[in-house]
A = this chain, B = another copy of it.
Amino acid sequence: MEHLEDHERREVWNKVKDALDHDHIDQFRAEFLELHPYDQAEIFVGLDTEVRMQIYTYLSPEEIADVMEHIDYDEIEPFFTEMDPRFAAQVFAEMSTDDAVDIFNELEKDKVASFLTIMDDEAAQEIKDLLHYEEKTAGSIMTTEFVVVKATMTIRQAMVHLRTEAPDAETIYYTYVIDEDKRLVGVISLRDLIVSEEDWLIADVMSERVVSVSVGDDQEEVARMVRDYDFLALPVVDFQEHLLGIITVDDIMDVMEEEASDDYSKLAGIADVDSPDENAFASAKKRLPWLVILLFLGSLTASLIGRFEETLSVYPILAVFIPLIAGMAGNTGTQALAVAVRGIATGEIDKQGKAKMMFREAGTGVITGVSCGVIITLIVYFWQGNFFLGVLVGLSILMTLIVATLAGSLVPLIMHRFDIDPAVASGPFITTINDIISILIYFGMATAFMNLLI
């Protein structure tokens, strides 16, 4: 189930290729345009430059725009560079404004300026307006191709209007109702429109309690809302309730994917887990930053242990449990971190209250600490026959788990408090902090009670 099955794609491709080779423009158009734009894009990106140059002459800017909307933003730049600039500008004008803006954000500033100059004024203005919004806000993902009606229209009038607007609109399944000042006053779904009598008024059928988001709202919150309410689109308004744009569910799915991949990358301590790596250098470049930071933090841990060299030279057996204790601290911290980061992301923590959460985490640390502490005390006692060593390791695990659990949840909460994305407190960072704490606890206790150790 690879969308178009691979053999199907090859089959279609053979026909398309044949048409291109023989300059059969009609045959090419018939075969290619029958495909879903996603499949068109999948074929298109695999072609040689000359073949693509031929296709630009066979398809209209509007048809190329459909293809471009289904190519990843980070791969798209070469295609717009190889096109005739005037043609490229027309393609931009035909794209959904939100998609065009996403691409413009990837291009160099002077290229953006030159495209905007060639484009017709209206399309250029729409794109310029959207370029202003900050990344990851509702404004940055909304589109301006929406359909509006007046409350005083009849259903019949609204349907006529809808049919005219349909070809350019991003969605026609929700129609928004605005007043004279362009303020959002209602919404009506196409479902409601088609089951209503033709001479009823929009005002009588529309829903007045329309859920909207502000243009500056965070895209993650917008996504949560669409998911909770099962909306297909959501209107975006300014502080005076003027309707500025809409966000459709297909864009929300992209946001969800982006946010999930972002959280995942940060937990793994890697710059961007999802864009495919071309070669080992690209891949090392994404991983090295964290590794080098960890190398220095690790050297700090090493120098801390160095201070206990005397204790170590008397009791080299102490070294044996270093990875166990540091490992448990790191893992339990990552668990607590993951719970806190997700709790903040889903809004669950705001509902429950932070104090309650910290209290619960402390309890969790005590329970896991006591359980693991008792187990390891027994293991060490039976293995080494040294009861005090067992108690020392067990108590260290107990204290470590409590402190590491609290650290794992406190750090993201504090970051959230200061409006820093809590996911920045990535897994490796918390792990290393907890390594250090656990080593201090372990050797501190060992040094203090050294004379009991023998």
A→B interface (CB under 8 Å) = 1-3, 34-36, 38, 70, 159, 162-163, 166-167, 172-173, 190-191, 194-195, 209, 211, 213-214, 217, 221, 225-230, 232, 249-250, 252-254, 256-257, 260-261, 263-265, 267-270, 273-274, 276-277, 279-281, 283-284, 287-288, 290-292, 294-295, 298-299, 301-303, 305-306, 309, 312-313, 316-324, 326-328, 330-332, 334-335, 337-339, 342-343, 346-348, 352, 360-364, 366-368, 371-372, 375-376, 379, 383, 397, 401, 427-428, 431-432, 435, 439
Contact across chains for A268 and B427 when beta carbons are under 8 A apart:
yes
Partner of A339, one of B34, B270, B327, B428: B270
Cβ–Cβ < 8 Å partners of A274 in chain B: 342, 346
Who on chain B is nearest to A228 by CB?
B38
Copies of the polypeptide in the assembly:
2
Give the Cβ gap from A128 to chain B, nearest Cβ, in Å: 26
Closest to A159 in B: B194
> Which residues of chain B have C-beta atoms less than 8 A from A322's C-beta?
305, 319, 322-323
Contact A270/B335 with A166-B194, A257-B227, A366-B280 known, Cβ cut-off 8 Å: yes
When chains A and B are docked, how far (Å) is the Cα of A70 from the Cα of B59?
45
Contact of A280 among B38, B299, B363 (CB under 8 A): B363
By a CB distance below 8 angstroms, the chain B residues around A371 are: 284, 288, 291-292
On chain B, the residues within 8 Å of A36 by CB distance are 209, 211, 229
Check A330 against B431 for contact (C-beta < 8 Å): yes
A277 nearest in chain B by CB position? B360
A163 to B372, CA, bound (A): 63
- Does B312 contact A319, Cβ atoms closer than 8 Å? yes
Which chain B residues lie closer than 8 Å to A439 at the CB level? 323
* A312 CB contact (under 8 Å) in B163, B229, B253, B316: B316
Q: Which residue on B lies nearest to A268, using beta carbons? A: B338
Asked if B303 and A309 sit within 8 Å, CB to CB, the answer is no
Since A34-B209, A256-B257, A323-B435 are in contact, a sample of 13 more A-B pairs with Cβ atoms closer than 8 Å, ordered by chain A residue number, is A3-B211, A38-B228, A173-B191, A226-B253, A232-B249, A268-B339, A268-B427, A269-B334, A270-B338, A291-B368, A291-B372, A323-B326, A334-B427
Residues of B contacting A172 with CB < 8 Å?
191, 194
What chain B residues lie within 8 Å of A334 (beta carbons)? 268-269, 427-428
Give min CB distance, A247 to chain B, whole Å: 13
B292 touches A372 (CB 8 A): yes
10 A–B contact pairs at CB < 8 A?
A1-B214, A3-B211, A230-B250, A252-B253, A267-B268, A277-B360, A283-B339, A295-B324, A295-B328, A334-B427
Is B277 a contact partner of A302 (Cβ separation < 8 A)?
Answer: no
Judge whether B284 and A368 touch: CB under 8 Å: yes
B191 touches A280 (CB 8 A): no
| CB-CB under 8 A for A317 and B323, given A163-B194, A211-B36, A228-B38 | no
Bound-complex Cα distance A70 to B226 (A): 13
